[in-house]
Amino acid sequence: MAESRIPQTSQTGPHARLEDTVARHLRCRWQSPVREFSRRAFDKLAESVAPGVGLVLDSGCGTGASTDALARRYPDCLVVGVDKSASRLAKAPDLPANARLVRAELADFWRLALAAGWRPVRHFLLYPNPWPKPAHLKRRWHGHPAFPALLALGGELVVRSNFGIYVEEFSRALALAGVIDVKVVSFRADEPMTPFERKYAQSGHRLFQLTASLESPQ
């Protein structure tokens, strides 16, 4: 496997406009319409979700390798992998019975899940696109207008990345939202959960994990 590069950025630390951006999104409700394909996919999934089932979200699941791993780790939960790429989802392995894959935009899916009253017990964001250029702050999930919906879903949030600034910014954004139970560590991926994680580990990258309790976001 070819060696992977750590995301390159001109930032030397958290974005100068991080605080203003996060505060604005927390203050103003996002009004962008939900895409129809996301709504259809969510409605179809909702038909098969039993009331009261423990829910684990794998947001940005790619080829579904992490969804497979999480479904085996949490056999008593329904694990839902969400990704917008049909081509990536088409490469998914055979999944356990307690796993589902959904093609939808994450920003749409989170809002639909929130409106439907879903509250995942765990929520994984494994190696999201880092969007390392400073101009792309609002494309990083902590700088995106959908960030308040992510917070409101609650549960235990797990974010992994090989881009340290991304995780540092995410931690600061959570603090701005009043989330105080946040932990960031560097870790070894002895059992990689995703192809990206395996590639980054084999390339010698430093990997970061953020965990946060979103039970009472403000």
For the chain, the structural domain boundaries read 56-213
* Tens of pLDDT, residues 102-139: 999 999 999 999 999 999 999 999 999 999 999 999 99
Residue 149 DSSP SS3:
helix
Are the C-beta atoms of 200 and 162 separated by less than 8 Å? yes
Residue partners of 115: CB distance under 8 A and separation at least 6? none
Mean pLDDT computed over 49-61 = 93
Beta bridge partners of 122: 56, 156
Structure tokens given for 22: 């996060």
pLDDT confidence of residue 48: 84
Give the pLDDT band of residue 32 (cuts 50, 70, 90). Answer: very high
Are the C-beta atoms of 86 and 64 separated by less than 8 Å? no
Structure tokens given for 164: 């340290």
Tell me, which fold does domain 56-213 have in CATH? Rossmann fold (3.40.50)
The whole-angstrom distance between residue 141's C-alpha and the CA centroid of its chain comes to 8
The whole-angstrom distance between residue 112's C-alpha and the CA centroid of its chain comes to 15
Are the C-beta atoms of 77 and 113 separated by less than 8 Å? no
Amino acid residing at 41: A
Q: Is 21 left (phi over 0), alpha (psi -120 to 50) or beta?
A: alpha
* Tens of pLDDT, residues 5-16: 889 999 999 999
Whether residue 2 has pLDDT greater than 60: no
